[in-house]
Amino acid sequence: MTVYIEQIAAHEGQEVTIRGWLHNRRSSGKIHFLTVRDGTGFIQAVMSKSGVSPETFQQADHLSQESSIVLTGTARADTRAPGGFEIDVTALDVVAPAHDYPVTPKEHGVDYLMDRRHLWIRTERQNAILRIRHEIVNAIRDFFNDRGFILADTPIFTPAACEGTTTLFSVQYFEDATAYLTQSGQLYNEANAMALGRVYCFGPTFRAEKSKTRRHLTEFWMVEPEMAYATLDDVITLGEALVTFVVGRALDRRARELRVLERETKNLEQVQTPFPRLSYDEAAKILKEKGLPFEWGGDFGGTDETVLSEQFDRPVAVHRYPSAIKAFYMKPDPDRPELSLSVDILAPEGYGEIIGGGQRLDNYELLLERIKAHNLPQDAFEWYLDLRRYGSVPHAGFGMGVERVVAWICGLEHVRETIPYPRMLYRLYP
């Protein structure tokens, strides 16, 4: 019976067939140990000289790493096996050999591995990360779907800059026009929320910033919810519920993968609502007290974010940033107009900003003023102004960067390992 390795426990004592690849091989002359992987897991197959034909035993002796193989044998529980089970091999079929496989079980440098990313993802560690990413993406979709949000995807080709701040990738759009790859579904989300109430978009996002840090990719995935008739408070509550749900799902369903990564889960288990909420003013005060060279009015740098998040055992919501350092569409705080009704949620352990959002400017005159002040082309924003012309309501939303969440939950040094093929400043291959 053909089975997947992840289901092996249900077949103890039975004869099973595994279809996969040879991950590693050890031998003691008259006994071979073949570590096989099939995409669902890794298992050690034991082949003794007395258990198979001489030809099969000889063949296994020369089997190279990553050769594709189909093997049959008896599933047996064994306390010595990392997964709890082994297979006593009775038959082996080599589908295709692999010669001089470059990603050996030994150490390799980052550049070497990145050039071979298409092979690197076969390793147990990368496998675990991508499985956790899958779980996180699924959890995000379930979270919004279960709460009545409608998935309404926003365009990837856009006619103009959404926020006017970051550098965009441009592409030739047929003969005459230039299109830009989206940096946020935000503005379209607002229109969708006016049509559907509560919506979210979930897709790739592109930033042509020449950022060269462990927290940046040029192409990354972002989920952006937007709600009509919602306030800053509503999005903070939604954000902390989302983060808590996603972390809980990863702990619940991907414990094995987190163990592979040797992730300390104690910190993740503390992620429960409510999150501490800190005004920008209070955050600035903390940074001053810690002796950092931070001036009120500026945005937080990487070090600032790390210091702030270290004050708490769970993510922290920092709200009401100065309007001057936030996007033009942020609504001013009625009590203090120099502040915006904005929020960033910072992950613990120095992983930085994972959520950014707030309440949107819903007043026509003020929005028009802001568009002009930011030197944005008004005609490109006429449709966006329409949302304030025809039944404007308070509304709010945020964006959450998937790769940063995955890096945090997995405890990774760099976001480049959280996506199968990362796109970075100097990385477009493979």
Partner RNA sequence: UCCUCAGUAGCUCAAUGGCAGAGCAUCCGGCUGUUAACCGGAGGGUUGUAGGUUCGAGUCCUACCUGAGGAGCCA
Token pair 């979709």: residue: 141
SS3 5: helix
Could you say whether residue 378 binds RNA (CB under 7 A)?
Answer: no
**Minimum distance, C-beta of residue 62 to RNA, in the bound complex (Å):** 6
Distance CA 332, CA 334 (A): 6
Count residues near RNA (CB under 7 A).
75
* Sequence-separated (6 or more) residues with CB below 8 Å from residue 262: 411
Identified binder of RNA from the candidate list 12, 93, 142, 209, rule CB under 7 A: 209
**Looking only at residues 293 through 322 of this chain, which bind RNA when binding is defined by CB under 7 A?**
299, 301-303, 305
Could you say whether residue 368 binds RNA (CB under 7 A)?
Answer: no
Identified binder of RNA from the candidate list 69, 268, 284, 355, rule CB under 7 A: 355
Identified binder of RNA from the candidate list 2, 14, 58, 104, rule CB under 7 A: 104
Stretch that binds RNA, among 26-34, 139-147, 310-318, 385-393 (CB under 7 A): 26-34
Q: In 293-414, where does DSSP find H-type helix?
A: 302-309, 364-373, 382-389, 402-410
Could you say whether residue 370 binds RNA (CB under 7 A)?
Answer: no
Could you say whether residue 256 binds RNA (CB under 7 A)?
Answer: no
Identified binder of RNA from the candidate list 37, 215, 249, 319, rule CB under 7 A: 215
Could you say whether residue 208 binds RNA (CB under 7 A)?
Answer: no
Token pair 């099969």: residue: 56
**Looking only at residues 83 through 102 of this chain, which bind RNA when binding is defined by CB under 7 A?**
86, 88, 100, 102
Nearer to RNA, 319 or 416 (CB): 416
Task: For 81-136, give the secondary structure using H, E and C.
Answer: CCCCEEEEEEEEEEEECCCCCCCCCCCCCHHHHHHCHHHHCCCHHHHHHHHHHHHH
Question: Bridge-partner residues for 47, per DSSP?
Answer: 32
- H or E element that contains 234: helix 232-253
The answer to whether residues 74 and 111 touch, using CB atoms and an 8 Å cutoff, is: no
Could you say whether residue 62 binds RNA (CB under 7 A)?
Answer: yes
**Looking only at residues 399 through 428 of this chain, which bind RNA when binding is defined by CB under 7 A?**
399-401, 403-404, 414-416, 424-427
Identified binder of RNA from the candidate list 67, 72, 166, 267, rule CB under 7 A: 166
**Minimum distance, C-beta of residue 88 to RNA, in the bound complex (Å):** 7
C-alpha pair distances (Å), 381 with each of 69, 138, 154, 327, 393: 58, 34, 16, 14, 18
